[in-house]
Structure 1
Amino acid sequence: MDTPQKKKISDPKEALAKAEHYCAYQERAQQEVRDKLYDWGLWPDAVEATISELISAGFLNEERFAKAYAVGKFRQKGWGKIKIKQGLKFKRVPDVLIKKALTLIDADAYIDMLTNILAKKAKTTAEKDAFKRSYKLQQYAMGRGYESDIIADVLKASEL
C-alpha cells in the first residue's frame, strides 16, 4: 500500500499565503509555524524569511499566543500553572512570555477551579480511608498541573 505523498511547496509566496491562512485560523507559536513550513518542504532561509514576514504583518505574535494559550487551557481544560508552563515550554515560548501569560490567571478563579476539580473527583473516588482519599485527590490535582501547596490548602479548607 502506497501512502500518498504530501504536496511540497517550493514557491515562498505560496508558502506565505498558506502560512497566513494557518496563522489566521488560530494563534500559533513561532515553532509550530516553523515546523509546518519545514513539513511543506521549504528551505531554511525561506522559512525564516516567511516567519519574519508573518511577524511584521501581525499574523504571528508569541506574546499574544502565550496569553491565549494560558487563559484558554485554564478556562477550557482546567489546567494548573505547572502544566500550562510545560505546554508553553514544549512550544518553545520564551520564559519571559510564559511568566507574563501566567499572570493573567486570576488567583481567586484559580482556587475556585481547583476546588471544583477536586469536588468532582471526590464524588467519583470510592476510597473510604481519609488519608488514602486525600492522597488520591492530591495526585489527581498534581496531574492536572496544580501546585502541591495550593492543593493541600484547598483540601484542608474544603474537607473533601
Structure 2
Amino acid sequence: MSTNFNRSLTVAEATQRLMQYCAYQDRCHKEVKQKMRDYGLIPQAQDQILGKLIEGNYLNEERFARSFARGKFNIKHWGKNRIVCELKFREISSYNIKAALTEISEPVYHEKLHWLAEKKLSTIKEKNLYKKKKKLADYLLYRGWESHLVYEKINELVE
C-alpha cells in the first residue's frame, strides 16, 4: 500500500489503517502513538482514535504484554530480565508486566535455561575453564537470564 504524504489522512482513514495495523499483530500503545505521529495526526484526533481502538479491543496492553513475553521466551529464548526491560522500554505498566511474566511457568523456565546453557556450551571451544565459564555467562546474561540462575547453571554444567 503506497502512502501519499502530500495530503493528510482523515480521522476515518487513519482509524481504518490503525485497525488493520493492530489486527495484524498485537501492538503496544507506544507503537500505535508513533504510527499516528507518522501520519501527522493532531493530538485530539490521536486521542479519539486511541479510544476507538481500545473500545474495539484492537489495542489491549495486557494482551500485548502477555503475547510479547510468550513469544520472546519461546522463540528467542529470552530470560525474564530481558523481557521486563523490553516491556518497560515499550512503556508497559508494571501491572501488565507482572501479568505477562505469569505466562512463563517456573519448571519450563528452568528447563529452557538448562537447554540453552547446554546448547551454547557445546559450541564453546575454549580450553581455559575460567574463559569458558565467562563466555557462557556473558551469553546467558545478555539474553536476560537472572545472574543467580546463570551462575548456578554454570557451576552445574562446567567442570
**TM score, norm. by length of structure 2:** 0.92
129 and 21 in structure 1: CA distance in 2 versus 1, 3 angstrom threshold = same
TM-superposed deviation, 1:136: 1.3
In structure 2, list runs of 5 or more residues that go unmatched. none
Matched ranges for 1:22-101 at <5 A: 22-101=21-100
Q: C-alpha separation between the residues in 1 aligned to 2:30 and 2:57?
A: 16
Q: Which amino acid letter does the alignment assign opposite residue 91 of structure 1?
A: R
Contact 2:133–2:158 (CA under 8 A) maintained in structure 1:
no
User: Quick one: structure 1 residues 27 and 6, their matched pair in 2 at CA, closer, same or farther if it must change by over 3 Å?
Assistant: same
Which amino acid counterpart does residue 20 of structure 2 have in structure 1? H
- Which amino acid is the alignment partner of residue 46 of structure 2? V
Partner residue in 1 for 2:152: 153
* 2:79 alignment partner AA: G
Gaps of 5+ in 1: none
User: RMSD over aligned Cα, in angstroms?
Assistant: 1.6
Q: Is the 8 A contact 2:19 2:53 kept in 1?
A: yes
Q: By how many angstroms is 1:107 displaced?
A: 0.9
- Identity %, equivalent residues: 37
Cα distance, 1:121 vs. partner? Answer: 1.2
Deviation at 1:99, TM superposition (A): 1.2
**Corresponding pairs, count:** 157
User: Given that residues 8 and 40 in structure 1 are in contact (C-alpha distance below 8 angstroms), is that contact kept between their aligned partners in structure 2?
Assistant: no
Structure 2 counterpart of 1:141: 140
Residue type of the alignment partner of 2:118:
A
